[in-house]
Amino acid sequence: EFKLVPRLKFQIYTTPIKNLQAWTEDDFWEFINVEGSANLPLSAAGRQVANGSQQALSGEFFINFGAWTEQMTAVVTRANENATHPDYPDNAPENVEQNYVDLMDAWVIDENRGWMPYGD
């Protein structure tokens, strides 16, 4: 059974890439908690670490060990009263329905069927 949870305001954004000069557990938890705004209990790390706003609804975290310097970034979502990031919209654009119709009608190439509407 599903429960519908209203999200009148919603934001999704990508954090800036953070270069880590030295890969440490403290760097990891600081990024998760501060830049990622993770809504985790303070005990999640098993010890005292930097704490952030805890406003994220969810987050996907990415670590690149193949770069010259280790890097981290995240895709963070915030909802309702926590959708307060000043640089990102918190609702759908006015023309969202027409944008969806236009996308479904756009032509794309399927490697097996050739040209076809995206919505097929």
Per-residue pLDDT, 106: 95
| Per-residue pLDDT tens over the stretch 12-46 | 999 999 988 777 888 889 999 999 999 998 888 88
The number of residues in the chain equals: 120
Give the percent of the chain with pLDDT over 70. Answer: 100
| Per-residue pLDDT tens over the stretch 58-75 | 999 999 988 788 899 999
Name the helix (H) or strand (E) containing 103. Answer: helix 96-105
Per-residue pLDDT, 4: 92
Per-residue pLDDT, 92: 87
Q: Residue ranges per domain, the chain?
A: 10-89, 93-120
In which residue are the tokens 């993770």 written?
Answer: 38
Per-residue pLDDT, 33: 92
SS3 107: strand
What is the rounded CA–CA span in Å between residue 116 and residue 110?
7
Asked if pLDDT for residue 55 goes beyond 90, the answer is yes
C-beta of residue 13 within 8 angstroms of C-beta of residue 76: yes
φ, ψ at 34 (rounded to 5°): -90, -65
